[in-house]
Amino acid sequence: MSAVAAPIERVGVVGGGIMGCGIAEVCARAGLDVILVEVDSAAADLAEQRIRASLERGVSRGKLEPDAAREALELCRFEPDAGALGDRELVIEAVVENREAKLGVFELLSKTVESGSAILASNTSSIPIVELAAAAGERAPNVLGLHFFNPVPVLALVEVIPSLLTEPDVIERAQAFAEGQLEKDPIVAPDRAGFTVNALLIPYLLSAIRMFEQGLASAEDIDKGMVKGCAHPMGPLALADLIGLDTVLGVSESLYREHREQLFAPPPLLQRLVAANLLGRKTGRGLYSYQ
DSSP 8-state assignment for residue 122:
E
| C-beta nearest to ligand NAD: residue | 17
* 53/69 Cα distance (integer angstroms): 10
Q: Which of 81, 55, 101, 106 is nearest to 247 (CA)?
A: 101
Residue of 122, 125, 126, 252 marked catalytic: 125
Asked if 142 is an active-site residue, the reply is no
Q: Which of 60, 70, 57, 72 is nearest to 27 (CA)?
A: 72
14 near ligand NAD, judged by CB under 6 A = yes
Which helix (H) or strand (E) segment holds residue 34: the answer is: strand 33-37
Asked if 183 is an active-site residue, the reply is no
101 near ligand NAD, judged by CB under 6 A = yes
Binder among 19, 132, 165, 238 for ligand NAD (CB under 6 A): 19
Q: How far is the CB of 137 from ligand NAD (least distance, A)?
A: 18
* 7/97 Cα distance (integer angstroms): 29
Binding range to ligand NAD, per CB under 6 A, among 132-140, 147-155, 218-226, 268-276: 147-155
Burial 200-235 (b: 16+ CB within 10 A, else e): ebbbebbebbbbbeeeeeebeebbebbeeeeeeeeb
Tabulate helix, strand, coil % of the chain (nearest 5): 50, 15, 35
Residue 78 or 149: the one with the smaller Cβ distance to ligand NAD is 149
123 near ligand NAD, judged by CB under 6 A = yes
Binder among 4, 9, 31, 39 for ligand NAD (CB under 6 A): 39
Interface with ligand NAD in residues 40-79 (CB under 6 A): 43
Q: Which residues does the annotation mark as catalytic?
A: 125, 147, 159, 198
Site of interaction with ligand NAD (CB under 6 A): 14-20, 37-39, 43, 94-97, 101, 105, 123-125, 147, 149-150, 243-244, 247, 282
